Amino acid sequence: MASRSTRDKTLIEITVVGKDREGVVAEITNSIFRHGGNIEQINQKVVHGLFGMHLEASFRNTIKLQKIHSELRDLSTKLQMEIKAHVEEPSRKKNVALLVSKEPHCLSSILTALRKKEIDSNISVIIGSENTLKGIADELSIPFRSVSYESGSANAESEILEAVENYNIDLIVLARYMRILTPNFVWRYPNRIINIHPSLLPAFPGAYAYVQAFERGAKIVGCTAHFVTEELDQGPIICQEAFKVMEDDTLETIRKKGQQLEAATLLEAVKLFLENRLDVYWTKVHTLSKS
């Protein structure tokens, strides 16, 4: 999860991304230890020469965040890698970025919940792979940023990363965002990107889940809200819902029922995150009771 503060300790999330090289883990962990921190979690991997690390450190004593940020910036320059630290401030609302394409049902569900005060957050920006849903953002005076993939995924993701950083985003929600995010993007926001997938994972991965379910004669169809990892549709599962397929159901009725369920299930996952009720241990999500 993102870093969080409690009465007896502060948790800081650090992500490191860059060209693989020796000594990175030692440099970062030694920096944490020098500031009196303890390593709570650490995950690292290398894919095609790209190194990614996610680390959570706890501090029980009063810490000087500016000094830690300064030292990490120095390490970033020294190691020639991107190093970010995220600290959640309990006194402020979480900032959320919604990524969308054409389908409005998930976006509308979240925005309706916001208006009804069913969720407590700032929808700081809506980012679209096209302009289809810009009107919805304009109606609510929410900044909308259109990102083109014509010049490739790397450039598009750079634009999204810039926006996410500018708005100090705590949570990224893929509200039927029909683009695959690369490890270079995902590693920067471990367990802070939530996606909704139109099937009961791990079955029927990919974009045509309802078609597969219909063609295979599935008797139960559902959807899955999960955290995004570099492995497509394989991230830790937050919540799932399903409905029975009736004999007279068509592909279109299955899709319509599924979209309604997607909107509700994604909203539930977002609520749980915003209420700090999700903890991830390895590949499993644990839902905490309300405090």
Active-site residue list:
233
Q: Tokens at residue 35, please? A: 């500031």
The position carrying tokens 């899709």 is 255
Its sign, for the CA torsion 69, 9, 192, 120, is negative
3-state SS string over 204-248? CCCCCHHHHHHHCCCCEEEEEEEECCCCCCCCCEEEEEEEECCCC
Do 86 and 56 touch, CB atoms closer than 8 A? no
Do 3 and 88 touch, CB atoms closer than 8 A? yes
For residue 39, what are the β-bridge partners? 57
Do 273 and 236 touch, CB atoms closer than 8 A? no
Virtual torsion, Cα 73, 78, 81, 86, nearest 10 deg: -20
> Distance between alpha carbon 234 and the CA centroid of its chain, in Å?
13
